[in-house]
Amino acid sequence: MPSADLSPELFLKAVDRAARHLVETLESSEKRRVFPNAPPGVVRGAIPSRAPRTGEPLDAILDDFERLIAPNLTQWNHPSFFAYFAISSSYPAMVADLLSAGYNVNAMLWRTSPAATELELAVCDWLREAMGLAQNPASPWHGVMHDTASLGTVHALLAAREDIGEVNVHDDGLAGGPRLRMYASEQAHSSVERAGLVLGLGRRGFRAIATDRNFRMKPDALAAAIREDRAQGYRPFAVTAAVGTTSTTSADPVNEIADICEREALWLHVDAAYAGSVALCEEFRPHFAGWERAQSIAVNPMKWLFVPVDLSVLYTRKPEAVRRALSLSPEYLRAPEHQDAPNLMDYSIALGRRFRALKLWMVMRAFGTDGLKERLREHCRLARLFADLVREAQGFELSAPVPFSTVCFRAVFADARDDAEQDARNERLMNAVNATGEMFFSHTKLHGRLVLRLAIGNIRTEERHVRDAFQRIVAEKVRQ
Ligand X SMILES: Cc1ncc(COP(=O)(O)O)c(C=O)c1O
> Which residues are near ligand X by CB under 6 A?
85, 148-150, 189, 191, 242, 244-246, 271, 273-274, 300, 312
Which residues have C-beta within 8 Å of that of residue 103, sequence separation ≥ 6? 355
Q: What's the chain's Rg over C-alpha atoms? A: 24
Cβ 299 to ligand X shortest distance, Å: 10
Task: Give the amino acid at 457.
Answer: G
Of 133 and 299, CB closest to ligand X: 299
Cβ 393 to ligand X shortest distance, Å: 28
User: What Å distances lie between residue 413 and 101, 105, 365, 394, 459, CA to CA?
Assistant: 52, 55, 49, 10, 34
Cβ 243 to ligand X shortest distance, Å: 9
User: What Å distances lie between residue 353 and 110, 116, 307, 348, 350, CA to CA?
Assistant: 11, 10, 17, 9, 7
Cβ 30 to ligand X shortest distance, Å: 25
Cβ 259 to ligand X shortest distance, Å: 22
Query: How far is residue 184's CA from residue 267's CA, in Å, rounded to a whole number?
Result: 12
Of 217 and 389, CB closest to ligand X: 217
Cβ 249 to ligand X shortest distance, Å: 8
Cβ 244 to ligand X shortest distance, Å: 6
Of 77 and 246, CB closest to ligand X: 246
Of 150 and 399, CB closest to ligand X: 150
Other Cβ atoms less than 10 A from the Cβ of 93: the count is: 25
Of 188 and 411, CB closest to ligand X: 188
Query: How far is residue 65's CA from residue 72's CA, in Å, rounded to a whole number?
Result: 10
At residue 401, the 3 state secondary structure works out as coil
Axis-axis angle for helices 254-264, 219-231 (nearest 10) = 20
Which residues have C-beta within 8 Å of that of residue 5, sequence separation ≥ 6? none
Which residues have C-beta within 8 Å of that of residue 273, sequence separation ≥ 6? 149, 152, 189, 244, 298, 299, 300, 303, 312
Other Cβ atoms less than 10 A from the Cβ of 94: the count is: 19
Of 191 and 296, CB closest to ligand X: 191
Of 196 and 244, CB closest to ligand X: 244
